[in-house]
Amino acid sequence: MRGFFEVEGRRLSYLDFGGSGAPLLALHGHYNEASAFAPLAEALAPRWRVIALDQRGHGESDRAESYGRDDYVADLAAFHRHLGIGPVPVLGHSLGGVNAYQYAGWQPDRVTALVVEDIGAVVDCDWSFTTSLPRHAPNRDALASALGAAAPYLECSFRQSKDGWGFSFDIDDTVASQKALNGDHWKDWVSVTCPTLLIRGTRSDELTAAHAREMTTRRAGRARLAELPAGHVVHHDAQAQFAVAVSGFLSESG
């Protein structure tokens, strides 16, 4: 079910995958949207009811004037309030992972467990891929062809318009968001008090093994690391293993 709510005059959208399970809030990364979590939602049902936000500037949510750290976390807090539910586990990939751990660190009474997928406590994002993306293509196949091997990771965001085919996110907005994501977020990471699972893809070009180990070491006893045979988008590359890791962790944590 798709839902909408307003934050300061902007409309944000989300997908509630339904069921009678306990709520799990999910946050996608750049180039993606809530629908990217459909396979995970199916795998976690009926124990968990995944509710995934189209973050500002993504999916069916409105574009925004800014894409700063405070902006994303405020949207997540408003989303949580809109749902009218108590403290919950939160899962986030990449951009969504930083948003998730900052929310957990800033509002610890609202997050019971945290899953962070393939993003570090220090982020040094390269937006050259973003600026190389095709802005328009005559049809869906042409868009997929232009993306090559990256197409399966972005296809949930393909959209048709009067000008042809493009994406549900704006390329310039994404660059602004990536620039705002960069930085040292150690203070936020170590301030998280809830049980945390950090998931890293062994072929990741975003999160090194050494940095992932340091993240868990700095939160000894409160965070653990799972490494799966995948690239940066672990929930796509190792779909079944990712779901098993998340399910097992959440069951132990709650």
Note the pLDDT of residue 254: 67
The pTM for the full model equals 0.97
Provide the residue-wise pLDDT of the chain in tens; the chain has 254 residues: 999 999 989 999 999 999 999 999 999 999 999 999 999 999 999 999 999 999 999 999 999 999 999 999 999 999 999 999 999 999 999 999 999 999 999 999 999 999 999 999 999 989 999 999 999 999 999 999 999 999 999 999 999 988 899 999 999 999 999 999 999 999 999 999 999 999 999 999 999 999 999 999 999 889 999 999 999 999 999 999 999 999 999 999 86
Question: If we measure between CA atoms, which residue out of 68, 56, 44 comes closest to residue 10?
Answer: 56
CB 37 within 8 A of CB 26: yes
H-only helix segments in 108-191 = 128-131, 140-147, 151-154, 171-181, 186-191
Q: Is residue 31 part of a domain?
A: yes
Query: Can you read off the two tokens belonging to residue 252?
Result: 């132990």
Give CA–CA dist 212/234, Å, rounded: 14
Note the pLDDT of residue 63: 96
Q: Is residue 50 part of a domain?
A: yes
Q: Is residue 119 part of a domain?
A: yes
Note the pLDDT of residue 221: 87
Q: How many domains does the chain have?
A: 1
Q: Is 193 helix (H, G, I), strand (E, B) or coil?
A: coil
Q: Is residue 85 part of a domain?
A: yes
Q: Is residue 230 part of a domain?
A: yes
What CATH number did the domain enclosing 66 receive? 3.40.50.1820
Q: Is residue 151 part of a domain?
A: no
* Four-CA torsion 55, 16, 117, 22, nearest 10 degrees: 140
Q: Is residue 79 part of a domain?
A: yes
Query: Can you read off the two tokens belonging to residue 216?
Result: 């868990």
Q: Is residue 132 part of a domain?
A: no
Q: What share of the chain is helix, strand, coil (3-state, %, to 5)?
A: 45, 25, 30
Residue 31: domain span: 2-126+170-253
Query: What single letter denotes the amino acid at residue 207?
Result: L
Note the pLDDT of residue 123: 98
CB 253 within 8 A of CB 113: yes
Tell me which residue has tokens 């459909």.
38
Query: Can you read off the two tokens belonging to residue 203?
Result: 């072929």
